Amino acid sequence: MKKLLKYLNGYKKECVLAPLFKMLEAIFELFVPLVVASIIDRGIGGTDKIYIVKCCGIMITLGIVGLISAVTAQYMAAKAAVGFSTELRSDLFAHIMRLSYKNIDELGTSTMITRMTADINQAQTGVNMFLRLFLRSPFIVFGAMIMAFTINVNAALIFLAVIAVLFTVVGLTMHFNIPMLKKVQGKLDEITLLTRENLIGARVIRAFTMEERETDNYTDTNMGLLKEQRRAGHLSAMLNPVTYILINMAVIVLIYVGALKVDTGILTKGQVVALYNYMSQILIELIKLANLIVLLNKAIASGDRIHDIFEIRPDIRNFSEQNSVVPSNHTEEGTAEENGDVCVEFRHVSLKYSETGDEALSDIDFMVNKGETVGIIGGTGCGKSSVVNLIPRFYDVTQGSVIVNGRDVRDQDLTSLRGRIGMVPQKAVLFRGTIAENLRWGNEAARDDELYEAVRLAVCEEVVESKGGLNGLVEQNGRNLSGGQRQRLTIARALVRKPEILILDDSASALDYATDLRLRQNISNIEYRPTVFIVSQRTSAVQNADKIVVLDDGCICGLGSHEELMENCPVYREIYESNT
C-alpha cells in the first residue's frame, strides 16, 4: 500500500490542509468542556445570567467555526481521495494493457476486474477516511487527556491507563485482521470469476440444463466468502464493544473519584462535568478510530492486491525497453535478411505457455514469401492459433526465432511491428459505438471511401446497409449482429489498415461456403498483395493457398500445395475427406 501513495503527490496541498482543518475543528471541540465547566461553576453557581449568555455565545461561535473547518477538511480529503483513485485506476489499466497474453492468462479476467473496481474503491475510501480522521481522533484522544491533566493530575491518570489499554487492543486487532481481509478479497475474486462465467455462458448452461448445478456451485462459493467475511467481521466487531466497556468502566471510576474529590473540595462540580465530557469525547473518537482501523485494514489489504498487479513484469517487453538484446538474425547464413522476397520465417520454433507445461509447438520451421497466401490447418488444439500469435509477438518463443521482414520480432518495436499486421482473432470482438468507429480501430485516419472499400472486400455491404450505413450503431460486443456479421466486420476492420501481413485466425467459421469463397477471392485480388495467413479447419478455405502448413499435436506433419499434401500427407487427406 505504501508504494501506491505516490498517486497522492499531485494532491499534497489537500493532504496537508484536510488533516489541519480537522485538527482546527478538534481544538475548538476541546475548549467546549471548559466553557461548560465555567457555566456550571461561575454562571449557574454564581447565578450570573449575563456570563451564561456570553459562554453560550462562545459555544455557538466555536460550533460554527468548527463546522466550517470540518466541511473544508472533508472537501479536501474527498478531492485527494478521488484524484488518487482516478490516477491509480488509469495507471493500473495502462499496466494491464502492457501485460502479455501469458500474464493475462495467468492472472485471469475476474481478478483484474475486482482489483480495478472493488479494490480501488476500497483504497479510495481508506485514503478519504485516513485524511479526515488519522490526526483528528488521536489528537482529541491525547488532547482530552492533556486537558484532563490541567484540571487534575490524579483524575487524569485514569485517562492515561484506559488509552494505553485501548491502543494495545487496536494494535492486536490490526495484526490479526489484515490477513483475514486479504482472504475475503481473494474469495471475492472467485465470486467474480464464477459470476462472469455464468453470465457469459448462460445459453450453454440452459442448453445443457445445468442451472441447478451452477446454482449449487455458486451457493457453495458464496458460502465460502460468507465464512471468511464472518471470521474477519467477528474480530473487527470486537473493537466497538471492547471500547465501550473500557471507556464506561473508566467513566464509572472517574465519577467515583470525582465525587470523592468534590466532597473534599479538590474539584468543583463543573470540573467533574468537564472531565466526564472529555471522557465522552475519547469514547466517541475511539469508536471512530476503531471503525477507521477496520476501513484501513480493508484498504491496506486491497492496496496490497493492487500493488501485486503492478509487481508483475510483462513477459513481452518492447525492444526499446529491454536492457540487453542479442540480435538473433544477423549471424546466420541464408536468412530472411539476405532475401528481400521473404516476409515471415519460422526457424525451429518451440513454444510453452508455462514453464512447467508441455510444448504447444515443437520445431516449427517454414518460410513465407511476400504476397503469398499460407493456409494453416489441423485438428482442434494442434497449435494453429499459437503459430500465428507468434507473428505479432503476442507470445514469445521458447526456442528458435520468428523473423518478419528480415528481423527477429524480439528486435523490433512492438507498435511498428503490429502496425504492419492486420489480425482477425478467432473470437469476433466489437465495441459499443458506430460501425465507422469500430472500423477505424484499424486506421483512425481512414476516409469513408476507404471504409466502404474494406467493407466491400469483407463481403459485408448488406450488413452496413441494414444498420443504416457507417453510422449504424453496434451494441456492446456486437450483440445486435449475427456471428457471421460480426466476423465480416472484424475482417473489414483489419483490412482498413491495409496491412502488409493479414492473419485470419479461423475468422470465417460462421460464414457459409459461398460467402467464404467470395471473401477469399476478394482478398486474393487486393492490389497491394499482402501476405495472408488463413487458419482454418476447412480444407476448402486453404486448398487454393500458395502453401499449406499441416499441424498435428504442435508439430508440422505436412507442408506444400493441396495436390502435394493429398498425395503425401495422411493427416491432410483425412481432414479433406472429413470435410467432403
Q: What is the pLDDT of residue 549?
A: 94
Q: Which of 98, 72, 65 has its CA nearest to residue 318?
A: 98
DSSP-derived 3-state class of residue 445: coil
What DSSP letter does each residue of 138-186 carry, written as one string?
HHHHHHHHHHHHHH-HHHHHHHHHHHHHHHHHHHHHHHHHHHHHHHHHH
- Kindly give, in sequence order, each residue whose CB lies less than 8 Å from that of residue 219, ignoring residues fewer than 6 positions away: none
pTM for the full predicted model: 0.71
Q: Phi-psi category of 317—alpha, beta or left, where left has phi over 0 and alpha has psi -120 to 50?
A: beta
Q: How far apart are CA 541 and CA 378, in angstroms?
A: 12
**Residue given cell 493457398 in the structure block:** 545
Do 214 and 205 contact (CB within 8 A), yes or no? yes
Q: What is the pLDDT of residue 338?
A: 45
φ/ψ (deg, to 5) at 95: -65, -45
Do 505 and 423 contact (CB within 8 A), yes or no? yes
Low-confidence ranges of the chain (pLDDT < 70): 1, 319-342, 580
What domains can you pick out in the chain, each with its CATH number?
Answer: 2-311 (1.20.1560.10), 336-579 (3.40.50.300)
* Long-range interactions of 89-97: CB distance < 8 A, separation 24+: 89/116, 89/120, 91/7, 91/310, 92/116, 92/120, 92/306, 92/309, 92/310, 95/309, 95/310, 96/309
Q: What is the pLDDT of residue 372?
A: 93
Q: How far apart are CA 548 and CA 542, in angstroms?
A: 7
Q: What is the pLDDT of residue 301?
A: 81
pLDDT tens profile 105-147? 888 777 888 888 888 999 999 999 999 888 888 888 888 888 8
Q: What is the pLDDT of residue 324?
A: 43
Q: What is the pLDDT of residue 319?
A: 63
DSSP-derived 3-state class of residue 61: helix
Q: How far apart are CA 161 and CA 141, in angstroms?
A: 12
Q: How far apart are CA 535 and CA 425, in angstroms?
A: 10
What separation in angstroms does the CA of 137 have from each of 15, 25, 291?
A: 16, 11, 11
Q: What is the pLDDT of residue 206?
A: 85
Q: Which of 389, 414, 416, 409 has its CA nearest to residue 328?
A: 409
Q: What is the pLDDT of residue 101?
A: 83
Q: How far apart are CA 409 and CA 424, in angstroms?
A: 19
